Amino acid sequence: MEKITTGNSDIHDQSPYGRVYANDLALKDMAAKPRLGFTVGAAIVRERLSEADSPKPNLIAAMVKGKKGSNPKANDWEFLILDGSATRILHREKRGVCVECHSSQRSGDFVFGGDYGSEPGRR
Ligand code: HEC
């Protein structure tokens, strides 16, 4: 199994490549102005590529909105890392580094990005 470090260098900062995808629920919530928070089942996925022109991601970071009360510390989000083909969950957490950093975006319900639907690939 690939070793996963969940420090910032491994997830986003040193590896700026990759697209962000969101399911329909998440897209709708993201487009709302002001953003009121995400619906149960909303999912946002961020690919991580090792090189800008890699055909496939080597890791996928994801956040999924759980039932109300499932993770009060993080507005009920769960954070996951999947392998590049999204067949295996390598890591999941309800609190920890993902949550810590994403909690700086509390006013946007822990989500950094804007309307990914209208700007595919925006980081
Ligand atoms: C040091 C800060 C930091 C850490 C730690 C971190 N993230 Fe992020 N994350 C960001 C930033 C900044 C963005 C928006 C820019 C980007 O996509 O690179 C982001 C974007 C995302 C997105 C796209 C949705 C959004 O918020 O824009 C997902 C999904 C995501 N991160 C999942 C995770 C997971 C899962 C972990 C833990 C394994 C994690 N992140 C750890 C800072 C962080």
Q: Is 97 exposed, middle or buried (0-12, 13-18, 19+ CB in 10 A)?
A: middle
* Block residue for tokens 């083909």: 85
| pLDDT over threshold 60, residue 82 | yes
Which residue from 3, 101, 123 has its CB within 8 A of the most atoms of ligand 1, so it is best to mutate? 101
Atom 36 of ligand 1: nearest residue by CA position: 98
Distance of CA 12 from the midpoint of ligand 1 (Å): 6
pLDDT of residue 25: 94
pLDDT tens column, 85-121: 989 999 999 999 999 999 998 888 999 876 554 444 4
Which residue from 12, 44, 81, 110 has its CB within 8 A of the most atoms of ligand 1, so it is best to mutate? 12
pLDDT of residue 53: 84
pLDDT of residue 16: 59
Q: Which residue has the higher pLDDT, 9 or 57?
A: 57
Q: Which two tokens stand for residue 115?
A: 């309307």
pLDDT tens column, 25-70: 999 998 888 888 999 999 999 988 888 888 888 899 999 999 999 9
Question: Which amino acid type is present at position 13?
Answer: D
Round to whole Å and give the CA distance between 10 and 75: 24
